[in-house]
């Protein structure tokens, strides 16, 4: 990426509306020249927050969250959704947003299936290993379906097991994805690989071609120099987990009173209990990014009480400010989850 930064120019401030995030961000990336701006300065209209990095991160995060809903399909893992009448230039611009978002914020939209992302970034003819295709397919399934297929894969490798314990369920799941053969111990892995290749490489290929064509040449040099394993390590490194978030906390060197230390314990307990979606929301609330980028998160305390008490985030500096006035974990946890559920929590309303 250093070779790309050798050819950048300082960016000017760009104003966008949160209510039209896709249209405005695509307009900002309408030409290759826009992808050479670094650093990038963003101002959300009607929001007073100044951009010292956090606003730009939140812009890309909000953009992909909206794009997932309108231009992709799936649940935990997504693939491009190209519909009749859809402007093909949209996916070309997606490629520019993808490249520029990584240049400015070191962020990738990791809800997009990795094989699809690799085809869009490295090359549309990149080779994806069977291991990655299998893992992506299991993640793509509903959790209970993933457990059924995982169990079947274990049984397929076990010489003493004659057949799948949930044979009809395995047939139903794979049949839904167009399997032309009945699954057996001998063909299960190859069958899943073929389905995964169809879902994540072959069917999305037109969209991958368009996104790859939108990546500026200087950026292409960087992405094409990566191996699939190197990109996959980056992709996995951005996955959000409670352990990663907790390990990124920088607690105060000293506590002013015992209440602060107790509330810090509440924070750790809260993070450990948050489901995956709320972990991503927490990370976005504090850092502006819904993917893990290994930034330190600084924890500070205040004495706010009553209606004024609430978690306060400074996403440009990745700082979380907590009140020391919580009397119980239940009280703290309820307030944190309420903040994460409110759209107003993600408005850049502090200067």
> pLDDT digits over 148-158, tens only?
999 999 999 89
- In a shared domain, residues 69 and 135: no
144 located within any domain: yes
Q: Which domain holds residue 60?
A: 2-125+211-237
DSSP assignment, residue 254? S
- In a shared domain, residues 254 and 330: yes
> Where does the chain show beta strands of DSSP type E?
13-16, 41-44, 72-74, 78-80, 249-250, 297-302, 312-314, 319-323
Last residue of a domain, one of 151, 178, 201: 201
Residue 65 pLDDT more than 60?
yes
The confidence band for 8, taking pLDDT boundaries of 50, 70 and 90, is very low
270 located within any domain: yes
Residue 259 pLDDT more than 80?
yes
Q: Provide CB contacts within 8 A for 187, sequence distance 6+.
A: 181
What average pLDDT score do residues 319-326 get?
A: 96
Long-range CB pairs of 267-271, under 8 A, 24+ apart, other chains included: 267/299, 267/320, 267/322, 267/332, 267/336, 269/329, 269/333, 270/329, 270/332, 270/333, 270/336, 271/242, 271/245, 271/246
- In a shared domain, residues 107 and 230: yes
- In a shared domain, residues 256 and 335: yes
Torsion-angle region of 40 (φ positive above 0: left; ψ -120 to 50: alpha; else: beta): beta
Last residue of a domain, one of 176, 201, 226: 201
Which residue from 117, 59, 96, 68 is spatially nearest to 289, judged by alpha carbons?
59
- In a shared domain, residues 99 and 16: yes
Q: What is the pLDDT of residue 43?
A: 83
- In a shared domain, residues 216 and 190: no
194 located within any domain: yes
Q: How many domains does the chain have?
A: 3
The two beta strands, 41-44 and 13-16, are parallel
- In a shared domain, residues 112 and 139: no
Q: Provide CB contacts within 8 A for 115, sequence distance 6+.
A: 128, 132, 133, 136, 196, 197, 200, 201
Stronger pLDDT, 17 or 49, i.e. the higher one: 17
351 located within any domain: no
Q: How far apart are CA 72 and CA 74, in angstroms?
A: 7
CB 337 within 8 A of CB 329: no
59 located within any domain: yes
Q: How far apart are CA 147 and CA 132, in angstroms?
A: 17
- In a shared domain, residues 112 and 167: no
What average pLDDT score do residues 266-287 get?
A: 96
Instruction: Assign residue 111 the CATH number of its domain.
Output: 3.90.1750.10
The confidence band for 348, taking pLDDT boundaries of 50, 70 and 90, is low
- In a shared domain, residues 11 and 160: no
167 located within any domain: yes
Q: What is the pLDDT of residue 351?
A: 44
Tell me if the bond preceding 39 is cis, omega within 30° of 0: yes
pLDDT digits (tens, 9 = 90+) for 223-255: 999 999 999 999 999 999 999 999 999 999 899
Phi and psi at residue 65, to the nearest 5°:
-60, -40
Can you give the length of the chain in residues?
Answer: 351
Q: How far apart, in Å, are the Cα atoms of 7 and each of 1, 45, 217?
A: 11, 30, 11
What is the residue-averaged pLDDT of the chain?
91
Which residue from 333, 259, 267 is spatially nearest to 297, judged by alpha carbons?
267
- In a shared domain, residues 99 and 9: yes
- In a shared domain, residues 220 and 250: no
Stronger pLDDT, 322 or 2, i.e. the higher one: 322
Q: Provide CB contacts within 8 A for 95, sequence distance 6+.
A: 120, 210, 211, 212, 213, 214, 215
Q: On the CB side of 165, how many CA atoms lie within 13 Å of its CA? A: 12
48 located within any domain: yes
Q: Which helix (H) or strand (E) holds 151?
A: helix 143-156
Q: How far apart are CA 214 and CA 137, in angstroms?
A: 27
- In a shared domain, residues 68 and 117: yes
Instruction: Assign residue 299 the CATH number of its domain.
Output: 3.30.2410.10
206 located within any domain: no
Radius of gyration of the chain (CA): 22
């Amino acid at each position: 990426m250093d070779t790309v930064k050798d050819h950048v120019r300082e960016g000017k401030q760009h104003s966008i509306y949160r209510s039209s995030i896709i249209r405005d961000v695509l307009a900002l990336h309408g030409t290759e020249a826009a992808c050479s701006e670094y650093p990038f300065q963003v101002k959300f209209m009607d929001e007073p927050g100044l951009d010292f990095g956090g606003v730009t991160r939140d812009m890309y995060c909000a953009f992909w969250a909206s794009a997932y809903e309108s231009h992709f399909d799936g649940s935990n893992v997504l693939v491009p959704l190209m519909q009749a009448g859809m402007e093909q230039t949209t996916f070309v611009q997606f490629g520019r947003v993808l490249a520029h978002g990584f240049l400015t914020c070191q962020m990738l939209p990791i809800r997009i299936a990795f094989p699809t992302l690799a085809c869009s970034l490295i090359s549309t003819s990149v080779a994806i290993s069977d291991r990655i295709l299998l893992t992506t397919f299991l993640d793509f399934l509903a959790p209970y379906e993933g457990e059924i297929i995982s169990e079947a894969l274990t049984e397929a490798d076990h010489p003493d097991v004659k057949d799948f314990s949930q044979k009809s369920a395995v047939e139903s799941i794979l049949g839904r994805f167009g399997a032309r053969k009945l699954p057996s111990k001998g063909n299960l892995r190859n069958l899943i690989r073929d389905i995964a290749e169809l879902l994540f490489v072959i069917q999305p290929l037109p969209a991958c071609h368009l996104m790859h064509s939108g990546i500026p040449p200087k950026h292409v040099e960087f992405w094409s120099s990566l191996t699939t394993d190197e990109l996959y390590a980056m992709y996995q490194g951005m996955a959000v987990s409670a352990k990663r978030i907790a390990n990124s906390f920088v607690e105060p060197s000293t506590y002013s009173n015992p209440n602060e230390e107790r509330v810090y314990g509440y924070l750790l307990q809260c993070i450990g209990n948050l489901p995956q979606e709320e972990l991503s929301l927490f990370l976005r609330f504090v850092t502006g990014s819904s993917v893990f980028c290994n930034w330190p998160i600084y924890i500070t305390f205040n004495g706010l009480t009553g209606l004024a008490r609430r978690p306060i985030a400074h996403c440009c500096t990745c700082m979380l400010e907590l009140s020391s006035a919580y009397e119980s974990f239940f009280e703290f946890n309820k307030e944190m989850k309420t903040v994460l559920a409110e759209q107003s929590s993600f408005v850049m309303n502090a200067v």
